[in-house]
Amino acid sequence: MKIGLYPKIAADGIRKNGKLYVPYIATCILMIAVFYIMHLLGYSNMLQNFEGAGTAKDILQFGAAIMAIFGTIFLFYTQSTLIKGRKKEFGLYNVLGMNRVNLGRIIFYETAIIWLISIAGGLLAGIGLSKLAELGFTKMINSSVSYQFTISADSVIMTILVYSIIFLLIYFNAFRQIWFTRTINLIHADKAGEKPPKANWVVGILGLIILIAGYVLAIKIEQPMSALMVFFVAVILIIIGTYLVLIAGSVVLCRLLQKNKNYYYKTTHFVSVSSMAYRMKRNGAGLASICILLTMILVMISSTSALYFNREETLRNHYPDQLNIMVAGDGFNENYDEIKDSMKADVLKKLDEYGATASNEIEFSDYVIAGFFTDGKVDIDINPMEQMTLDYDKVVQVYFFDIDDYNRMCGTEETLSKGEALIGVEGNIRVGDEFMVGDEKFTVAKRTDVMSGNLKHSVVSLIVSTLFVVVDDLDEVASCYKDKIDPTGIPMLQWSWNYMFDTSLEVDGQMKLSEVLNDELTAKAKEAGLRRGDCASREYQRDDFVKTFGGLFFLGILLSIIFMVSCVLIIYYKQISEGIEDQSRFEIMQKVGMTKDNIKKSINSQMLTVFLIPILFAAVHLATVLPMINKLLLLFGHNNLPLLLISAGLSLLACGIFYAVTYKLTSNAYYKIVSAV
């Protein structure tokens, strides 16, 4: 055969099957463009002059890796669908004298043509949109804008390399499908329907158990560290359960509809239900894929938008005042108060030198020790290296606080006797009227809300449970733990002094004073043998917060666009392939009296029956995993559940509207195929 024959046949095949290949190529172009943009922003020097953009660049580098992995998986899935629609054509080529090697050459040229168009289109789109993406990204992270247009040779080369490998793997997969399929099966591929499936209750019940297990795991988790440990386990269980439930459950649904004579034996429902019953295995898998993609979109947008729009509150939770001083030491030391007073005097002296005064002051000292809470006791002698099965829900940080500091911060006049404690609990632990920390016993005199007023600033983190213990003599209580050390030889007891205040200085003055105080406190802490001494400026930290959360939100938007387009493509191919399969059935029904209006009603019945399932399941998935997402967001310092719920609701509404529009457009494509007689 002439060498030019194969490229011509390949090009004709793509052209004649344009309704299948055009959306596929458009998706490839979009994925390549997004990968180029992410790689450009993440790896090039475009953002090198942007203050604090390092974290955001790391996020985009992570996003580029995700795009490469997802692109491989999704394009494999889509190419398999395309090849299935072309098997009859390849079977005819085989009958006319072409062997498997010849068919492999046609597939090679088809893949090469699509690769060339996709790479060229994707790079052109990526380069063309890169400046717009950069401007949007810099807007989100509040960085200065550069109007210099940049084309990164490294990003171009990496994009070509990554997607060349992906298309090569796609070619091998497509060739494998043709090579191992008999000629007769190729010719009759479009008529190879499924056998009437039986309702597999075992698979359905197993899937339901796995799905419920994932739900319970997501709902039950109470601490962020535990959520981080089991997040992927819960996600995998939910994904597996969704596939099994929808594959088995869709068969059961069809059987129930067929047994309902008042529903089934109607022109509107008869053809659609009988058609669905013969492809429910594939239908269930397709619906599950759509459901998982929708859930991923909802989770990403809900969480990243909540982080982004709550960034100011999160920043203020971490840094309540303009300047935030923290000095920390290991173990018990009777001289800590003297060190604290000396450092405070130096701070006030520097304030005076800069012509500033401290206002809205928050000052306190505390001791912290961690342990494992069980049966009313905080066990501080557990070795974490030996307790590999440590239950993070029972890990607790104990903050010892002096009654004088408590009264000053809360404006109260509480008094305590020796052995008594005023306590506050944040987390899932339950403390009775008496409790022990190590070998020391305390009687609860009163309880307080740890997160009320200025007390919340004494708690460094909420990623594990917190026990806030106010005592009458802080030094006396702390001295009971002075001999406790961890397996590495470091004292378990940690002391800290926190001094936070506002000033009358402008932003630049605050940051300059912060640098001076930080250098001085670091030197004095080292001189005193302390572990830490620093001063953090809220304005300086603002950049890091904005860039981190802005980068995550930007990544969430880009990935959601890709996942949504992928979801649309799955729905479109599902409609096209099922329309081709159902065309002959509707043709027969029209010959026996079925009208065009009946066809439309039947299609609407089928679409509403099938395509409501994924969005409903996705909504249930989202509602179930929201508690776990809320716990994970605590690791970022986000503690605004109402905002997360609002973000989830708006995301679900927007996704539902987009899904409804997609359903309408693709159902029209299905109608045109089945009614074209």
Predicted confidence (pLDDT) per residue in 82-130, tens digit: 776 666 666 676 666 677 777 778 888 888 999 999 999 989 988 887 7
pLDDT bucket at 388, cuts 50 / 70 / 90: very low
CA of 147: how far to CAs of 42, 56, 88, 277, 445, in Å?
18, 20, 53, 58, 64
- The answer to the question of residue 585 being in a domain is yes
What DSSP letter does each residue of 593-655 carry, written as one string?
Answer: T--HHHHHHHHHHHHHHHHHHHHHHHHHHHHHHHHHHHHHHHTTT---HHHHHHHHHHHHHHH
- Triad 187, 191, 194: Cα angle to 5°: 125
Out of 167, 192, 217, a domain closes at 192
Whether 193 has a pLDDT exceeding 50, the answer reads no
Question: Which pLDDT belongs to residue 650?
Answer: 93
Both 96 and 213 in one domain: the answer is no
Mention every residue, 6+ apart, whose C-beta is less than 8 A from residue 620: none
Whether 30 has a pLDDT exceeding 90, the answer reads no
Whether 358 has a pLDDT exceeding 50, the answer reads yes
Out of 504, 524, 552, a domain closes at 504
Average model confidence (pLDDT) across the chain: 78
Both 349 and 491 in one domain: the answer is yes
Nearest CA to 404 out of 363, 450, 358 is that of: 363
Whether 196 has a pLDDT exceeding 50, the answer reads no
- The answer to the question of residue 429 being in a domain is yes
Both 219 and 186 in one domain: the answer is no
Is 223 or 279 the better-scoring residue by pLDDT? 223
If one counts the domains in the chain, the total is 3
Q: What is the mean pLDDT of residues 518-524?
A: 90
Q: Which long-range contacts (CB under 8 A, 24 or more apart) does 607-612 make?
A: 607/663, 607/667, 607/670, 609/253, 609/257, 609/272, 609/273, 609/276, 610/250, 610/276, 610/283, 610/287, 611/571, 611/659, 611/663
Whether 377 has a pLDDT exceeding 80, the answer reads yes
Most confident option among 255-259, 300-304, 601-605: 300-304
pLDDT bucket at 469, cuts 50 / 70 / 90: very high
The 3-state DSSP class for residue 455 equals helix
pTM of the shown model: 0.72
Both 609 and 661 in one domain: the answer is yes
Give me 173's structure tokens: 């997969």
Mention every residue, 6+ apart, whose C-beta is less than 8 A from residue 44: 150, 152, 154, 155
Most confident option among 477-481, 554-558, 600-604: 477-481
H-assigned helices in 319-373: 336-353
- The answer to the question of residue 524 being in a domain is no
Could you list the residue range(s) of the whole structural domain that residue 40 is in? 1-192
Nearest CA to 205 out of 262, 248, 153, 164 is that of: 248
Both 179 and 211 in one domain: the answer is no
DSSP 491: B
Both 574 and 644 in one domain: the answer is yes
Both 237 and 137 in one domain: the answer is no
Read off the amino acid at residue 621. Answer: H
Both 2 and 134 in one domain: the answer is yes
- The answer to the question of residue 307 being in a domain is yes
Out of 157, 192, 227, a domain closes at 192
pLDDT bucket at 385, cuts 50 / 70 / 90: very low
**Cα 249 to Cα 208: distance, rounded to the nearest angstrom:** 10
- The answer to the question of residue 509 being in a domain is no
Question: Which pLDDT belongs to residue 255?
Answer: 65
Q: pLDDT tens digits for 233-259?
A: 888 888 888 888 877 766 666 666 666
Both 340 and 482 in one domain: the answer is yes
- The answer to the question of residue 388 being in a domain is yes
Whether 14 has a pLDDT exceeding 90, the answer reads no
Both 157 and 94 in one domain: the answer is yes
Q: What is the mean pLDDT of residues 509-533?
A: 89
Both 494 and 545 in one domain: the answer is no
Question: Which pLDDT belongs to residue 287?
Answer: 77
Both 164 and 202 in one domain: the answer is no
Q: Which of 171-175, 358-362, 419-423, 569-573 is predicted with the least confidence, judged by mean pLDDT?
A: 569-573
- The answer to the question of residue 521 being in a domain is no
- The answer to the question of residue 351 being in a domain is yes
Question: Which pLDDT belongs to residue 391?
Answer: 62
